[in-house]
A and B are shown apart, each in its own frame.
Chain A
Amino acid sequence: MDRVSAHFEDLTEGDEITDWPPIENISRSHFVRYAGASGDFNPMHHDDTIATKVGYPSVFGHGMFTAGVLSHYLTDWVGAGNVRKYAVRFKGQLYPGRTLTIKAKVTKKYKDGDENRIDADLEVVDDQGSVLITGSATAALPSRG
């Protein structure tokens, strides 16, 4: 069974979710595993020698790694098969050792045909206060009953 924590009746426009558990101590292993799964072997994400040579403090994560992590908070919230749109903008780099915090805000609640939909704004920030991703999503939510 898919796991879904949100139901249409329980959400109101303006609701903010700020209590999702953070992901602590992001490591190089996370980036390497994502490189393998996605096939994106840009050396900026696994080779400190190359990353520092071009001026970065160290390797940093794939934007789509963080976007993938964000997407699973989204699917845990609305259901894996219920996402209709998902968009992200990359605002900052994710460095090893950082902690990720994910937030969401319901911006619109409406009917679209026979679907109960919400639009939400999404954000990923690190423990230095840097915004890594701003995003948005549209989902068709299940009803209670």
Chain B
Amino acid sequence: MVDKSIIGTEMGGSHMLVEQGKVREFAKAILDDNPVYLEDDPPVPPTFTMAMAHWPAPSGGQGQGLSKLGLDLMRVLHAGQEYEYLGEIKVGDKLTTRSQISDVSEKEGKRGGTMTFVTSETTFTNQRGEDVLIARTILVQTSKAAS
């Protein structure tokens, strides 16, 4: 059981310079051979910011943050991911993120036990102060270890 009072908890932030080589590497990893990613001024793939999701935040990293919220990482799975594209992200942009817990809900699992869904929302802001992306990560904690 995760306390609903964690909604609004600030999860820290991170920085990323959008590098051309990383964009190409990411496009190749999702099997995307669109030649637009080989040009000088490409857009970035829709899920590109996953490339910074695993960088530790100054506050201690995502895993440590989740533990502090009472989540047991051994029972947590990635249930879903959502993006709202508010503006363009281009190579050369410097992105700054800030994250917070935006929702907590519970649902009875099909095989018994309670599943707790926790949504963490990250806003990406570019070097001009424009919000360009909102990303939501939906995690689910099962009442038993994942199997």
Contacts from A to B (Cβ < 8 Å): 1-3, 23, 30, 33-34, 36-41, 54-55, 63-65, 67-69, 71-72, 74-76, 80-81, 83-90
Contact surface of B with A, Cβ cutoff 8 Å: 22, 25-32, 34-36, 42-43, 45-47, 50-55, 77-85, 88, 138, 145-147
Q: Is the CB of B83 within 8 A of A68?
A: no
Taken together as a complex, chains A and B put the C-alpha atoms of A1 and B78 apart, in Å, by 34
Contact (Cβ within 8 A) B34 A2:
yes
8 Å CB contact of B81 from A40, A64, A69, A72? A64
B106 CB to closest chain A CB, in angstroms? 17
A68 touches B55 (CB 8 A): no
Q: A37-B25, A71-B45 known; A89 and B79 CB under 8 Å?
A: yes
A36 to B45, alpha carbons, bound, how many Å?
16
Query: Of A2, A33, A64, which is within 8 A of B50 by CB?
Result: A64
Number of A-B contacts (CB under 8 A): 113
* A1 and B50 form a contact (CB under 8 A): no
Smallest Cβ-Cβ distance to B52: which chain A residue: A39
Instruction: State the CA gap A17–B61 with chains docked (Å).
Output: 40
Instruction: Kindly list 13 other residue pairs between chains A and B, CB separation below 8 angstroms, not including A80-B42, A86-B85, A90-B78.
Output: A38-B50, A39-B53, A54-B147, A69-B30, A69-B31, A71-B45, A72-B34, A72-B45, A81-B88, A83-B46, A86-B82, A88-B81, A90-B77
Cross-interface CB contact of B43 among A36, A63, A65, A80, cutoff 8 Å: A80
Decide if A71 touches B51 in the complex (CB within 8 Å): no
Question: In the complex, what residues of A have CB within 8 A of residue B78's CB?
Answer: 63-64, 90
Q: Is the CB of A85 within 8 A of B83?
A: yes
* Cβ B81 vs Cβ A68 within 8 A: no
Check A87 against B81 for contact (C-beta < 8 Å): yes
CB distance from B95 to the nearest CB of A (A): 15
Contact indicator A3/B46 (Cβ below 8 Å): no
Find A39's partner among B27, B30, B55, B85 (CB 8 Å cutoff): B55
B117 to chain A, nearest CB (A): 11
Say which residue of A33, A41, A63, A83 sits within 8 Å of B28 (CB atoms).
A33
Chain B contacts for A41, CB-based, 8 A? 54
A46 CB → nearest B CB, Å: 13
Given contacts A2-B34, A80-B34, is CB(A64)–CB(B47) below 8 Å? yes
Would you give the shortest CB distance from A84 to chain B, in whole angstroms? 5
The one of A55, A71, A74, A87 that contacts B147, using a Cβ cutoff of 8 Å: A55
Tell me the smallest distance from the CB of A37 to a CB of chain B, in Å: 4
Contact B30 A3 (CB under 8 A): no
Residues in B with CB closer than 8 Å to A67 are: 47, 81
A40-B54, A85-B83, A87-B82 in contact; A68/B36 too (CB < 8 A)?
Answer: no
Complex Cα gap A86–B135 (Å): 10
Q: Are B36 and A36 in contact (CB under 8 A)?
A: no
